[in-house]
Amino acid sequence: MRRELTTSLLAVVVFTLLLGLAYPFGVWAIGQVAFKGAADGSLVHVGGKLVGSSLIGQDFSRPVLDKNGKPKKDSDGNPVTEPDPKWFQERPSQDSYNPAGTFFSNRGPNQASAVVFYKEGLSSYLALERPYDAGLTAAQVPVDAVTTSASGVDPHISQANARIQAHRIAAVRHLPLARVNQLIAQHTDGRFAGFLGEPGVNVLELNIALDKEAPLT
């Protein structure tokens, strides 16, 4: 038994050093040499400042102002926000697009509260987009626009979702609709090798490109 314990104790030490330290540091070293940008988080800088990661979806809302021009707060003291019309909007997020504290919405398929959530999501989506696209019906709203993603920081929206929002962006930024759709196409991550996965429009990259092309002051 004593021998068994000694061997086991040594095994704990040896394997922890090998698998717990040598392995991750080895992988890190390979990453720093071969894929530094990717291994460091695909960081995106604008004007020398870090604005996020191209892999991580982020918030594109703006604060709602009260009558005195001050940020409005809800009953819990949290600032009230609304989608900022000058940006393409991400999918809804259950964790306020926080990549440092992710969790699932755990919204069940038959939950009464889910019906309320989807109804609200649908009507606020229509309220935002219809002024710019009068013919828009609820049936045209793709499902990704009203459901929360898994990670809460899904960087993509569907092409259908982006094409609806294009009407608003074209109007607000005074760009031809065709040009906006062109930008959407340029920032769509297609299926891998043409058939794996689903195409998605990278919202952060698209918004950065928009701001470069038609900045608003």
Partner 1 sequence: MLQGWLQIAFFCAVLVACMPLVGGYMARVFAGETVGLTRIVGPLERGIYHVLRVDPARGQDWKGYAKSLMVVSLLFWIALYVILRTQTLHPFNPQGMHSGTWDVTFNTTSSFLTNTNWQYYGGETTMTYFSQMAGLAVQNFISAAVGIVVVIALIRGIVARRERSGTIGNFWQDLTRTTLYILLPLSILGAVLLMSQGVIQTFSHYLGFHGLNGTSGQLALGPVASQESIKELGTNGGGFFNANSSMPFENPNTLTNFIELFLILVIPTSLTYTYGRMVGNRRQGWAVFAAMSVMFVAAVAVVFIAEQHGAPAQHLAGVNTHAIAGSTGGNLEGKEQRFGIANSGLWAAVTTVTSCGAVNAAMESLTGIGGLVPLANLSASETIFGGVGTGLYSMLLYVILAVFIGGLMVGRTPEFLGKKIEAREIKLTGLGVLVTPMVALVATALATGTKYGAPSVYASGPQGFSESLYAYMSQANNNGSAFAGYTGYLQPNGTNVGAHGVTFADLLGGMTMMVARYLPILFVLAVAGSLVRKTVHPAGLGTMRTDNPTFVVLLIGVVILVGALTFFPALLLGPIVQGLTNQVF
All residues at 6 or more sequence positions from 129 whose CB lies less than 8 Å from its CB, including other chains: 136, 164, 165, 167, 168
Q: Rounded distance, CA 109 to CA 112, Å?
A: 9
Q: Rounded distance, CA 19 to CA 29, Å?
A: 15
Q: Out of 65, 80, 115, 185, name the contact with partner 1 by CB under 8 A.
A: 115
Task: Please check whether residue 214 is in contact with residue 206, taking contact to mean a CB–CB distance below 8 angstroms.
Answer: no
CB of 80 to partner 1, least distance (A): 14
CB of 142 to partner 1, least distance (A): 3
Query: 77: helix, coil or strand?
Result: coil
What is the DSSP-derived secondary structure letter of residue 106? Answer: -
Nearest to partner 1 of 9, 64 (CB atom): 9
Q: Rounded distance, CA 164 to CA 140, Å?
A: 9
CB of 117 to partner 1, least distance (A): 8
Stretch that binds partner 1, among 15-23, 128-136, 165-173, 174-182 (CB under 8 A): 15-23
Q: Rounded distance, CA 120 to CA 126, Å?
A: 10
CA distances in angstroms from 216 to 84, 87, 141, 156, 202, listed in the order given? 12, 11, 27, 23, 21
Q: Out of 68, 69, 78, 100, name the contact with partner 1 by CB under 8 A.
A: 100
Q: Tell me: does residue 89 bind partner 1 (CB under 8 A).
A: no
Q: Tell me: does residue 186 bind partner 1 (CB under 8 A).
A: no
Q: Rounded distance, CA 207 to CA 211, Å?
A: 6
CB of 135 to partner 1, least distance (A): 15
Q: Out of 46, 65, 80, 127, name the contact with partner 1 by CB under 8 A.
A: 46
Q: Tell me: does residue 11 bind partner 1 (CB under 8 A).
A: yes
Residue whose tokens read 């109804």: 119
CA distances in angstroms from 128 to 108, 132, 134, 194, 215, listed in the order given? 27, 8, 11, 33, 21
Binding to partner 1 in span 118-177, by CB under 8 A? 118-119, 122, 138-144, 146-163
Q: Tell me: does residue 104 bind partner 1 (CB under 8 A).
A: yes
CB of 124 to partner 1, least distance (A): 12
- Interface with partner 1 (CB under 8 A), residue total 106
CB of 127 to partner 1, least distance (A): 14
Nearest to partner 1 of 15, 186 (CB atom): 15
Stretch that binds partner 1, among 48-56, 65-73, 127-135, 174-182 (CB under 8 A): 48-56
